[in-house]
Amino acid sequence: MIKDKLNYIIGGGFFLVLIGVFVFFSSPVRTQRVQAGFLGMISPFLKQGSGLQKKYTGLREGLRTLEQLDGEVKRLRVANKELSATNQMLRGLEAENNRLRNSLGYQEKAVFQLMPARIIARDASTWYQKIVIDRGKAELIEPDMPVLTPEGLVGKTTVVGEHSSQVVLISDENCRVSASIEGTREQGIVKGERAAGAGMPAIGLGFLSKQAVKTKTVRIGANVFTSGVGGVFPYGVMIGKVRELKERELDGYATLTPAVDFSAIEDVFVVVGETK
């Protein structure tokens, strides 16, 4: 086998030498013909190589374009997330601005002297019973001062510290508020009912006359306000609306929809006196 390879190499070399001699001793015309024939023989290979080069160049440029597009998509995704976060922040600031503007307007028009306060603490286990605000003795807050929002009654102060106070909500069963039903002479006591679960406890108005419930003197949707009886809560503060009515053994009873959303309150006012 080695001998065959040597013969092949020697033969190939001899053939090249013959071509070289032929070209050297030939006339220019013959030389050109030989060159033309040789170019004709190798031109398909040259064309194929050129095509492969073009395909390789196109593929490389295509890959570069895909990388650029992928980078652009990633950049746009990041920019979109940044814009979404900025938009959410601006919406939050707008809502905060509107809320503070409404509170300021309410404070200016209120018939009471109001001390603005912010909720600074709230326990999940007593979410609908108690809150803590950032006002205390240093801000002239005392126990049993009414606490409200522009929407309606929240509760009253109980334990008062130097710069904070605990507020019991009207949804707590230990907070009782004398109330009256708009358009009637019916009065009773509003208090929260003990909740079986962690949800919002029911708020009820008891000690109504059974006759008023039976004859539908009290209507569903009627407004319920503080009556001013008892000396703690001033007259005319919105508590809620009548949602259901029923007769009990000794009295009539109304379940109320509170005017204030106790799950979402952030700012409140403490009634520190009457306007002069």
Provide mean pLDDT across the span 114-133. Answer: 92
The whole-number pLDDT of residue 253 equals 94
The whole-number pLDDT of residue 230 equals 85
Provide mean pLDDT across the span 100-109. Answer: 58
Q: Which band of pLDDT confidence, cut at 50, 70 and 90, is reported for residue 273?
A: confident
User: Phi, psi (5° rounding) for residue 166?
Assistant: -90, 140
Other CB atoms within a 10 A radius of the CB of residue 239 amount to 25
Other CB atoms within a 10 A radius of the CB of residue 199 amount to 10
Integer CA distances (angstroms), 193 to 90, 149, 247, 256, in order: 39, 22, 17, 11
Domain range list for the chain: 110-274
**Topology of the domain covering 110-274:** Thrombin, subunit H (2.40.10)
Q: Which is more confident, 266 or 74?
A: 266
Radius of gyration of the chain (CA): 45
**Strand ranges for 122-215 from DSSP E:** 130-133, 146-148, 153-160, 165-169, 176-181, 187-192, 203-208
The whole-number pLDDT of residue 193 equals 84
User: Phi, psi (5° rounding) for residue 174?
Assistant: -90, -5
The whole-number pLDDT of residue 197 equals 61
Q: Which band of pLDDT confidence, cut at 50, 70 and 90, is reported for residue 69?
A: confident
Provide mean pLDDT across the span 253-261. Answer: 94
Report yes or no: 209 and 251 within 8 Å, Cβ to Cβ.
Answer: yes
pTM for the model: 0.62
The whole-number pLDDT of residue 29 equals 54
Mean of the per-residue pLDDT values of the chain: 77
pLDDT by residue (tens digit) across 197-224? 667 788 999 999 999 888 888 999 999 9
Query: What does DSSP assign to residue 152?
Result: S
Report yes or no: 157 and 145 within 8 Å, Cβ to Cβ.
Answer: yes
The whole-number pLDDT of residue 9 equals 47
Q: Which is more confident, 151 or 6?
A: 151
Query: What does DSSP assign to residue 139?
Result: G
Percentage of residues of the chain with pLDDT beyond 70: 63
The whole-number pLDDT of residue 134 equals 95
pLDDT by residue (tens digit) across 4-40? 544 544 454 444 445 554 545 455 555 556 555 555 5
Q: How far apart are the first and last CA of the chain?
A: 124
Tokens (6 digits) for 101: 């503007």
Tokens (6 digits) for 258: 């509170």
Answer whether residue 190 shows pLDDT above 60.
yes
Answer whether residue 99 shows pLDDT above 70.
no
pLDDT by residue (tens digit) across 53-68? 656 566 566 666 777 7
Q: Please report the DSSP string for 94-118 in residue order.
A: HHHHHHHHHHHHHHHH-SEEEEEEE
